[in-house]
A and B are shown apart, each in its own frame.
Chain A
Amino acid sequence: MRKYTLFFLILLSSRIATAQEGVWVVANVTDQGFSLTKGEVRNLFMSSGTSKKYVFDPVALSPGNRARAIFNAKIIALPESRIQSYWAQMRFSGRMTPPKEFDNLDALLNYISSTDGAIGYVPADTELPNNVAIVYRSF
């Protein structure tokens, strides 16, 4: 019984931890005052759809990265397994492929800062290259 209590406490604490951390959605855009809503960010990462007149290139961190878990929970609002099954459906029906994935933050930021229109997410308070701007903040 104690084992289960411990298990649930760990589970609970990990959820609380996720709830307290934030992510920034960052993009390589020339317009420094540019921003997106939460709904727009979600649509960009799930269906490349946005009403804004920018062509974006969404990129993600690989599963297992903490910032990805926070982004999934707070912005996509779907569990990782549901996101994976969604992309399987899109790929094998010829509709879309998922955003390009990077194993670590440095590789992700390198790509964003060297690619026009690239957009990704990083843990809040990450030091950003000069040409990368914050377009959405989640707390």
Chain B
Amino acid sequence: MHKLIVLLIVVAATVLSSVAEARAEALEFSGFARAVAGKIDTEKATYEGYDDSISFSEKSLIAFQADYTFSSSFSASAQLLLHTDEDRESGIEWLYLTYAPSESFQINAGRLRTPFLKYSDVIDVGFAYPWINAPQQLYSSYLFSQYEGGNARLRRSFGDVVVDFEAYYGKYEDALASSGVNVDVAVDNMFGGVIEVNYGGLQLRTATINAPKVQTTIDEIAPFLQGLRAAGFDSIAEQFDINDRAGSFLLGASYDTLSWYVSGEWMKVSSDIDVLANLESFYVSYGYYLDEVLLHLTYASSRQSLNTIDNVIPVGVSPELDQLYFAVEQLNSFFPTDDLDTWTLGARWDVKTNIALKAELSLLDGKEGRTSFYEVKDNNFDRNATLYQVAVEWIF
């Protein structure tokens, strides 16, 4: 079935890209697609949806973008994304109006993707970055990936140094699926910004995301929390109420030359929410070009500080209390504790100016007893696995 979807995507893209070539003056079509196949070498867990059989459907996608220019300073853009991942919905990913009175200033309003990490607002455009799977320790964990609101982007030059500023404000709402449980997340006020400094091949970046009040509803655990309160354990129930501040902070640097590059990003996610412990992660990456082939090596690591759930239910008093105690422990273990170190070796071959082939191998070294970005199926799993992926990236 998934193979069929991938095939349909490729056929649709071929037809639509030829339509795009016959574009009108004011309306421009473009798009991107990726077909990714991968597997991990264990049957005891899944990682990023991958198990020990080859899957094409975890990351394959196609997107169509339409840009309509009303006048020299007003335009509208829409991006439709079709995804084969079961945990992600297909639909309108970007939809916004742009007012750009000059080349160095623009305002956008509508549905936008949150700018944070170097590639976080183009994470679906695999062609834009070297990896197949950008370091998960950062790219899957930086909090709110899109928002409805507005942003302003300003560019200033100081001699040969170009500085970009971006500030945004909006709201976020999403239904996330975590270990098969639906989590509804709503942030009414979210704001942040990015400063990026470019000097020749050197780039320095810093970014923040701030959400003063994150409201989360998990229908599955509501009756249990009610039960805890009824039994007089309000303090425990309160710790599972996710209704507080969260934020992320980023520092990044990269240096690009004609034949090699180095890049790295460090990020910290902090929150006052008890069960969402603080996360610190980073990667460093080196790439070397052998003509059209890029070889790259990346080390990435994340550390999540321990959950501080204070389980005050006494053990050994009665079977009912024991049961409640273990239920709290079990619920606590459902929340992520993502300690993971990875080495990733990859190759990217740009066969044409708009098509790249990639292959990638990642050694995943998680910590026992932690989730480490896995969905663990067998508790004996030692959290070590190898992820193999190949991909075709395409823009049109």
Nearest-neighbor residue (CB-CB) of B198 within chain A: A47
> Are B128 and A92 neighbours in the complex by a CB distance under 8 Å?
yes
Cα distance A92–B159 when bound, in Å? 28
Q: In the assembled complex, which residues on chain A have CB atoms less than 8 Å from the CB atom of B127?
A: 84-85, 88
> Are B160 and A40 neighbours in the complex by a CB distance under 8 Å?
yes
Nearest-neighbor residue (CB-CB) of B151 within chain A: A94
> Are A51 and B294 neighbours in the complex by a CB distance under 8 Å?
no
Q: Is A3 close to B, CB under 8 A? A: no
Q: Is B285 close to A, CB under 8 A? A: no
Interface of B is mostly: strand
Within 8 A of A (CB), among B202-259: 256-259
The range of chain A's interface size is 20 to 34
Nearest-neighbor residue (CB-CB) of A82 within chain B: B256
Where the two chains meet, the residues of B that have a C-beta atom closer than 8 Å to any C-beta of A are: 30, 32, 63, 65, 77, 79, 94, 96, 98, 103-104, 108, 112-113, 115, 119, 121-122, 125, 127-130, 153, 155-160, 162, 164, 198, 200-201, 256-259, 261, 289, 291-292, 294, 348, 350, 353-354, 356, 395
Interface of A is mostly: helix
> Are A84 and B350 neighbours in the complex by a CB distance under 8 Å?
yes
> Are B157 and A43 neighbours in the complex by a CB distance under 8 Å?
yes
> Are B160 and A81 neighbours in the complex by a CB distance under 8 Å?
no
Given A43-B157, A63-B353, A80-B350: A73 and B291 interface contact (C-beta under 8 Å)? no
> Are A47 and B162 neighbours in the complex by a CB distance under 8 Å?
yes
> Are B122 and A39 neighbours in the complex by a CB distance under 8 Å?
no
Q: Which of B115, B162, B256, B257 contacts A49 (CB 8 A)?
A: B162
Cα distance A82–B256 when bound, in Å? 9
Q: In the assembled complex, which residues on chain A have CB atoms less than 8 Å from the CB atom of B98?
A: 94
Cα distance A89–B63 when bound, in Å? 14
> Are B198 and A85 neighbours in the complex by a CB distance under 8 Å?
no
Given A79-B289, A93-B113: A50 and B157 interface contact (C-beta under 8 Å)? yes
Chain A 47-85, CB-CB to B under 8 Å as 1, else 0, gives: 111110001000000010000000011000111111011
Given A49-B104, A85-B129, A94-B96: A77 and B155 interface contact (C-beta under 8 Å)? no
